[in-house]
Amino acid sequence: MSRLKIGVLISGRGSNLQALIAACAAPDFPAEIVLVVSNKPDAQGLDHARAAGIETATVAHGGFPDRESFDREIDKHLKSSGAELVCLAGFMRLLSTWFVETWHDRVVNIHPSLLPAFKGIDAHAQAIAAGVRLSGCTVHIVRPEMDAGPILVQAAVPVMPNDDEDTLAARILEAEHACYPLAVRLLAENRVKIVDERAVMMTPEGRHRPLIFPPTE
C-alpha cells in the first residue's frame, strides 16, 4: 500500500498532531507523517514528533520580512520532505495566498467550531457568547481567507450551561482528535472531489438521526 505523505504544521501543544501520529501508527492507515514544522522552537508538539521518530523543523516567523518569505521557507522544507498534503494542526499563522495556491486543495485545517460559524482565534468564547446549544469542530480545505474553504468533516458537540472556554474546548478537542484522522483518511483514499468549492464524497446510506441538544428526554 502506498501511503500519502503528510507534513504537519504546528505552533503549540500538538494534541491533534498526536492524534494523527496515533492514526498513522496503524498498519492499514493510508497516510504517514514525513515532517512536522513549527513556527515556535519550544512547541510541545515538536517533542511528540521527535518521540515518534518523525523529522522536525522550526521556522521562526520573526526572522522573515514578510508572510510570503516565511511561507516560502516552510514550502522548501515540505518539498524536500516529499510531503503531498499539508495538515495545519493548531498552526496559528495565516498562510499567504502564494502558499495556499501553490498547494491548492492540498492544505487542510482543523478549527474548533462548526464553520462557517465562529471563525478566528476565540471560537469557544464566541460560541458561549452566542448561546448556541451545539458547537463542534470542522476539518476543511484551506483557502486564503481565514477559516474558509470546502468542508470535509464536522462533529457537533453540546455546549453545557456551565461551560467556560476551557471546558468547552476540552469537549470539542476530543471530537477534533477523531475528525482529523478521518479527514486525512478520506483524502488519502481519494474519496473526495472538490466541485464548485464544495467537498463531494460518498457518505454511508441509511438513517442518520439528528443530534438534538438538550435531549428530548
Residues marked as catalytic: 111
Residue whose CB is less far from ligand GAR, 15 or 96: 15
Stretch that binds ligand GAR, among 6-14, 30-38, 76-84, 96-104 (CB under 6 A): 6-14
Stretch that binds ligand GAR, among 13-21, 23-31, 96-104, 194-202 (CB under 6 A): 13-21
DSSP letter (8 states) at residue 90 = S
Could you say which residues in the range 14-43 bind ligand GAR, by CB under 6 A? 14-16
DSSP lists the bridge partners of residue 208 as: none
Candidates 183, 139, 136; CA nearest to 158 is 136
**Rounded to whole angstroms, how far apart are CA atoms 166 and 138?**
18
CA atoms within 13 A on the CB side of 4: 22
Q: With CB under 6 A, what is the number of residues at the site for ligand GAR? A: 15
Quick check: 74 and 99 in contact, CB under 8 A? yes
Q: Does 5 bind ligand GAR (CB under 6 A)?
A: no
Write out the residues near ligand GAR by the rule CB under 6 A: 12-16, 45, 89-90, 110-112, 123, 147, 173, 176
